[in-house]
């Protein structure tokens, strides 16, 4: 890599860098899932499946809607599609029968495992290019952006 290539990251605005970085992870995950026969996961489905795999075993449907920042109708359609295709199951929340929770099925857990392996492969390639300190700094910066979003969302008026 030439010196001009090495400094190019300073010229590209942060949103563009984030978009391209997300594309690298998303493409690797989609490719691995497609090759394994999980080629029917809709847009935003990777987020739901990955989030459920990394988070609590059961997640209230309202949390998914909030985190996706899509309409309740779009989130409901996404969950319906994932349920219909066998990735999720929907159940009544045992602590509050008015709420529904979703959880991964066996098929969903297998897809999550493949998705995780693809993410880990990208992480390994990244670790071969930059230092552990660079990765830690990038994670701190990205988490600061996440915190900014959380704080902004907390200031928003509650929707009815």
CATH number, domain of 92, equals 1.10.10.10
Residue 160 lies in a domain: no
In the chain, the percentage of residues whose pLDDT exceeds 90 is 56
Other Cβ atoms closer than 10 A to 105: 16
Residue 46 lies in a domain: yes
Mean pLDDT of the chain, nearest integer? 87
Residue 68 lies in a domain: yes
Report, as an integer, the average pLDDT of 121-137.
Answer: 96
pLDDT higher than 70, residue 60: no
Report the sign of the C-alpha dihedral through residues 83, 55, 15, 7, in that order. Answer: negative
Between CA 81 and CA 134 the distance in angstroms is: 39
Residue 108 lies in a domain: yes
CB within 8 Å of 35: residues ≥ 6 apart? none
pLDDT higher than 50, residue 144: yes
Residue 100 lies in a domain: yes
Residue 94 lies in domain: 3-155
Residue 27 lies in a domain: yes
Query: Number of folded domains in the chain?
Result: 1
More confident residue, 6 or 149: 149
The model's pLDDT over 22-31, given as tens digits with 9 standing for 90+, comes to 999 999 999 9
pLDDT confidence of residue 22: 92
The model's pLDDT over 94-103, given as tens digits with 9 standing for 90+, comes to 888 887 788 8
Residue 31 lies in a domain: yes
3-class state of residue 160 by DSSP? coil
């Amino acid at each position: 890599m030439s010196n001009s290539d090495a400094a190019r990251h300073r010229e590209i605005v942060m949103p563009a860098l984030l978009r391209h970085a997300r594309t690298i992870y998303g493409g690797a995950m989609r490719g691995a899932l497609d090759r394994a026969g999980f080629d029917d996961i809709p847009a935003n489905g990777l987020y739901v499946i990955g989030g459920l795999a990394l988070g609590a075993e059961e997640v209230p449907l309202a949390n998914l809607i909030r985190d996706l920042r899509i309409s309740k109708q779009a989130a409901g359609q996404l969950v319906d599609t994932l349920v219909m295709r066998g990735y999720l199951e929907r159940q009544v929340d045992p602590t509050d029968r008015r709420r529904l929770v979703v959880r991964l099925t066996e098929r969903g857990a297998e897809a999550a495992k493949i998705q995780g392996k693809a993410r880990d492969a990208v992480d390994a390639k990244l670790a071969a290019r930059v230092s552990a300190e660079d990765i830690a700094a990038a994670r701190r910066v990205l988490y600061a952006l996440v915190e900014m979003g959380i704080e902004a969302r907390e200031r928003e008026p509650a929707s009815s």
